[in-house]
């Protein structure tokens, strides 16, 4: 880590604390608020919830949010030219990202998420460089612990279709002859065997797992994994009780690929391999069909909904009403793609509330389901634990405190439920405090464990030092994107059925 940011400071050790609030939502959407509530903390757990003798005016508390799908990219995509566009073309632009210290990049992302009320983050690590996987995992875990969030680290697993939804050698041959050698040497790394991949997952787990860190199996997406790798993942998940996180039917192109490759059997095949089970989280799920949702619901698998990301990458809108009808659990993620490029989970929560709760559907997203997704289901997805979602004695001491005085500055008193104000206005600027495992990791809107502004300055400086390389890559990437666009337009992904 550069000397510039060695001024990082640690939060105080966990101690017994007594907190009081104007409004205490132990389980928002399910329980009425306790007006004038207090919480006593002991270590990393809630010891007692009770009426307050004298509440601190203007504060509103609820469980901390859980971001069930994120890539923790502290440096924003557009900073190196990856503009919003169709996912399959946008993805190719990621190769232009300049080198960034993995600790700093992750700490910047985790800090922003914490400032918006997130206590648990599913970090879907995306590098294909398995040679530095364990070192990067250690650096990212250190960033999570310094910021103070709970971390689900997803080990990236893939062994086919690196360039697109077709055989790599065929896609490579379609590229401009000027670029083929560079593309092959830079993007087509040799992959480990399924057996070696499973051992790598166990090595990462031994290196980083702990009370606030879990390690998950991370097939990049079903189309990026051979049958042998998917079978190894399903077997390891069942044998080791390890969760699986993958991207699932995010785009219309992926839907067409799945239908061509496994007609009518795509989701059933993943269920039969034990990839989809009660330990499974699939990100996006935009193009799932009702019968597939029913199969997933039967297995108690869940989808992490990423609404802003799906808008920005032109992927569509997840069929949340079909999830609700089938009784399938679902959570929510920011996906490093906040609506305003600010990683604001509270804004993402509000957008989901607006989009999925219209009155003209027979399965609206109720407040109870909305907060269950951001609390109970999201916490399970990230941490593999079912003991979250209500501020009650014995529960994890993960508490989001909002500045309700700022939220309600112009309201006529007693005219509206305070939760409706949160769902109308709350954003990261209203976060007063965030406690995770009993530790205050955000105070007065600022991260307590790291110097976030200094980290952001250093990340920007590092990217600008790599600017020449990025600019040199730009024409190669633009030609690659044009090649991929033509491949998909011509239906190449539907001819590549296995």
Give the C-alpha separation, 10 to 443, whole Å. 13
Q: What is the pLDDT of residue 393?
A: 97
Give buried/exposed letters for 460-483 (b at 16+ CB in 10 A, else e). Answer: eebbeeeeeebeebeebbebbbeb
Residue 1 has pLDDT above 60, yes or no: no
Half-sphere exposure of 339 (CA within 13 A, CB side): 13
Half-sphere exposure of 63 (CA within 13 A, CB side): 31
Q: What is the pLDDT of residue 186?
A: 86
Give the pair of three-digit tokens for residue 452: 């976030």
Q: Residue 159's closest CA among 189, 203, 119? A: 189
Q: Is 455 helix (H, G, I), strand (E, B) or coil?
A: helix
Give the C-alpha separation, 92 to 478, whole Å. 9
CA distances from 180 to 38, 161, 341, 358 (A): 63, 16, 33, 50
Q: What integer best gives the mean pLDDT of the chain?
A: 94
Q: What is the pLDDT of residue 399?
A: 98
Q: Phi first, then psi: what are they for 280, rounded to 5°?
A: -105, 135
Grade residue 497 by pLDDT with cuts at 50, 70 and 90.
low
Overall fold of domain 65-390+469-495: TIM Barrel (3.20.20)
Grade residue 18 by pLDDT with cuts at 50, 70 and 90.
confident
- CATH superfamily for domain 8-63+391-450: Urease, subunit C, domain 1 (2.30.40.10)
For residue range 151-201, what is the model confidence (pLDDT) as tens digits?
Answer: 999 999 999 999 999 999 999 999 999 999 999 998 898 899 999 999 999
Grade residue 357 by pLDDT with cuts at 50, 70 and 90.
very high
Grade residue 11 by pLDDT with cuts at 50, 70 and 90.
very low
pTM of the entire predicted model: 0.95
Grade residue 356 by pLDDT with cuts at 50, 70 and 90.
very high
Q: Where in the chain is the domain with CATH 2.30.40.10?
A: 8-63+391-450
Q: Where in the chain is the domain with CATH 3.20.20.140?
A: 65-390+469-495
For residue range 416-471, what is the model confidence (pLDDT) as tens digits?
Answer: 999 999 999 999 999 999 999 999 999 999 999 999 999 999 999 999 999 999 99
Grade residue 248 by pLDDT with cuts at 50, 70 and 90.
very high
Residue 299 has pLDDT above 90, yes or no: yes
How many other CB atoms are there within 10 angstroms of residue 23's CB atom?
25
Grade residue 4 by pLDDT with cuts at 50, 70 and 90.
very low
Angle at 488 between CA 482 and CA 492, to 5 degrees: 120
Residue 498 has pLDDT above 80, yes or no: no
Give the C-alpha separation, 171 to 347, whole Å. 39
């Amino acid at each position: 880590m550069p000397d510039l940011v060695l001024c990082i400071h640690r939060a105080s050790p966990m101690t017994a604390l007594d907190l009081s609030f104007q409004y205490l939502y132990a389980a928002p959407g399910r329980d009425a608020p306790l007006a004038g509530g207090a919480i006593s903390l002991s270590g990393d757990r809630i010891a007692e919830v009770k009426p307050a003798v004298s509440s601190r005016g203007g504060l509103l508390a609820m469980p901390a949010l859980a971001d069930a799908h994120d890539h923790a990219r502290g440096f924003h995509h557009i900073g190196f030219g990856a503009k919003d566009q169709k996912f399959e073309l946008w993805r190719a632009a990621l190769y232009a990202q300049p080198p960034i210290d993995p600790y700093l990049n992750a700490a910047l992302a985790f800090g922003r998420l914490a400032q918006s009320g997130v206590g648990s983050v599913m970090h879907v690590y995306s590098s294909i460089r398995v040679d530095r996987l364990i070192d990067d995992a250690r650096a990212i875990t250190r960033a999570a612990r310094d910021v103070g969030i709970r971390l689900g680290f997803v080990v990236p697993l893939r062994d086919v279709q690196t360039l697109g939804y077709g055989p790599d050698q065929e896609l490579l041959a379609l590229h401009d002859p000027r670029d083929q050698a560079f593309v092959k040497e830079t993007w087509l790394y040799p992959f480990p065997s399924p057996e070696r991949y499973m051992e790598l997952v166990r090595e990462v787990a031994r290196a980083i797992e702990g009370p606030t860190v879990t390690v998950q199996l991370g097939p990049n997406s079903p189309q990026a994994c051979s049958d042998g790798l998917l079978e190894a993942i399903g077997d390891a998940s069942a044998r080791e009780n390890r969760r699986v996180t993958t991207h699932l039917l995010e785009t219309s192109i992926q839907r067409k690929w799945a239908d061509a490759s496994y007609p009518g059997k795509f989701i059933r095949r993943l269920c039969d391999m034990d990839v989809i089970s009660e330990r499974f989280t699939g990100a996006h799920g935009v193009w799932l069909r009702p019968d597939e949702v029913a199969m997933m619901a039967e297995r108690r698998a869940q989808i992490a909904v990423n609404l802003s990301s799906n808008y920005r990458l032109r992927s569509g809108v997840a069929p949340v009403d079909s999830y609700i009808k089938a009784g399938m659990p679902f959570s929510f993620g920011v996906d490093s793609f906040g609506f305003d490029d600010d990683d604001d989970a509270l804004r993402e929560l509000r957008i989901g509330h607006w989009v999925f709760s219209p009155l003209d559907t027979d399965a609206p997203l109720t407040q109870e389901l909305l907060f269950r997704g951001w609390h109970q289901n999201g916490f399970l997805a990230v941490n593999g634990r079912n003991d979250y979602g209500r501020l009650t004695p014995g529960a994890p001491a993960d508490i989001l405190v909002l500045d309700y005085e700022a939220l309600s500055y112009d309201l006529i008193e007693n005219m509206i439920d305070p939760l409706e104000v949160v769902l109308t206005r709350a954003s990261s600027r209203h976060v007063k405090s965030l406690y995770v495992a009993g530790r205050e990791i955000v105070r007065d809107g600022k991260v307590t464990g790291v110097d976030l502004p200094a980290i952001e300055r250093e990340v920007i400086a590092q990217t600008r030092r790599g600017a020449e390389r990025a600019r040199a890559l730009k024409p190669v990437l633009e030609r690659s994107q044009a090649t991929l666009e033509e491949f998909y337009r011509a239906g190449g992904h539907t001819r590549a059925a296995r």
